[in-house]
Amino acid sequence: MIGPILWLALQLGRGAAGPIDPAAAAEGRKLYNRDCTICHGLEGTVGDRAPALAGDRRFLRSSAEELYDAIRNGIRGTGMPPSPLADAEVQNVVAYIRSLRAPAADTVVAGDSERGAAVFWGKGDCGRCHMVRGRGGILGPDLSNIGGERRPAALRDALTRSGRRLPRGYRPVKIRMRDGRAIEGLVKNEDSFSLQVLGARDLQLHLLDRSEAAEVIYSDHSLMPSDYARRLTAAEIDDLLAFLARQVDGRPQP
């Protein structure tokens, strides 16, 4: 059994990891949008005089202590001044900034994860390609830890925005072989001489020499649809996001 104080110390030691108190983050959001946006942008976006606090950019100051120190004491040599906020208020702003960067699992996501599971395996048909905890398909990435890896905004983008970057190992390809065979699938790996392809139809690996291919046609468009805003209702998308946010390796299944 791990004591609460030790637990807290571990969470602080891990920096940005660990659950975030949603109430504190909500309070912090109000304070942030009131006091910080003269330099930083609204809702953590880039501002006129200071950088965005949300997003994928890696900041030197990312742990709760570092953020607290920057707000409480300012950052010398920059335009970041010490804050006049009370300590508890600073902690709330820290919670909000961490929530901007936190993976979905550590944030409060609207929606019902049980209904989201039904969407995942049912109407959304996500399990055709994606696996969660040993169930589902193998063409798409395994989502068993997706809640621990992606921010909520990135999850929403994946469902609703086209033109996303293809992750390595998932680029679609159509190969016409010199012997007349046609292979369609995903490029798991490739080089100037060989291709390692997971067949989209037979779900088997095809390990090919490039010299045996008459034509290799790549696609820049993921097999993953991006029109879930049309396929699903707004509530269903929220539910699906809630389900995905709960998927973390090593945590009990919802």
Partner 1 sequence: MKARIGGIVLVAAQLAAAQVTFDDLGRADPSNWLTYHGAYDGQRHSRLRQVNTGNVRGLAPKWIYQVPGAHRLESVPIVANGVMYVSEPNHVHALDARTGRLIWEYRERSVPERGANRGVAVYGNRVFVGTPDARLVALDARAGNKLWEVKLAEASEGYWCPVAPLALRDRIVVGIAPGDDGLNGFLDAYDAETGRRLWRWEAIPKPGEPGSETWAGDSWKTGGGDTWLTGTYDPALNLIYWGTGNPAPDFDGDVRKGDNLYTNAMVALDADTGRLRWHFQFTPHDVHDWDAVEIPVLVDAPFGGAPRKLLVQANRNGFYYVLDRRSGKFLLGTPFVKLLNWARGLSPEGRPIRVPGVEPTPQGNKVCPPTAGATNWMSPAYNPDTSYFYVSALEGCGISYKSHDTFLPGGFPYMATGYVESPEEPWQMHVRALELQTGKLVWDHIQVGSRAYGAGLLSTAGGLLFAGNDQGFLTAHDARTGKPLWHFNTGQQITASPISYAVRGTQYVAVAAGGNVVAFALHEGAGSGR
Query: Should residue 168 be labelled a site residue for partner 1 when binding is judged by CB under 8 A?
Result: no
Instruction: Please identify, using beta-carbon distances, which residue of 78 and 194 lies nearer to partner 1.
Output: 194
Query: Should residue 114 be labelled a site residue for partner 1 when binding is judged by CB under 8 A?
Result: no
The CA-atom distances, in angstroms, between 13 and each of 8, 16, 18, 65, 161 are 8, 9, 10, 9, 36
DSSP secondary structure, 171-222, as one string: EEEEEEETTS-EEEEEEEEE-SSEEEEEETTT--EEEEEGGGEEEEEE-SS-
Cα-based angle 210, 212, 213 (whole degrees, multiple of 5): 70
Query: Should residue 184 be labelled a site residue for partner 1 when binding is judged by CB under 8 A?
Result: yes
Sketch the per residue contact string, 7 through 46, with partner 1: x for CB under 8 A, - otherwise. ----------------------------------------
Query: Should residue 176 be labelled a site residue for partner 1 when binding is judged by CB under 8 A?
Result: no
Token couple for 56? 């994928």
Give the C-alpha separation, 165 to 150, whole Å. Answer: 15
Q: How far is the CB of 18 from partner 1 (least distance, A)?
A: 14
**Which position among 83, 160, 196, 226 is part of the footprint of partner 1 (CB under 8 A)?**
196
Checking 186-194 for CB contacts under 8 A at 24+ apart, the result is 186/139, 186/223, 187/218
Query: Should residue 194 be labelled a site residue for partner 1 when binding is judged by CB under 8 A?
Result: yes
Query: Should residue 213 be labelled a site residue for partner 1 when binding is judged by CB under 8 A?
Result: no
Query: Should residue 139 be labelled a site residue for partner 1 when binding is judged by CB under 8 A?
Result: yes
Query: Should residue 188 be labelled a site residue for partner 1 when binding is judged by CB under 8 A?
Result: yes
Query: Should residue 50 be labelled a site residue for partner 1 when binding is judged by CB under 8 A?
Result: no
Query: Should residue 149 be labelled a site residue for partner 1 when binding is judged by CB under 8 A?
Result: no
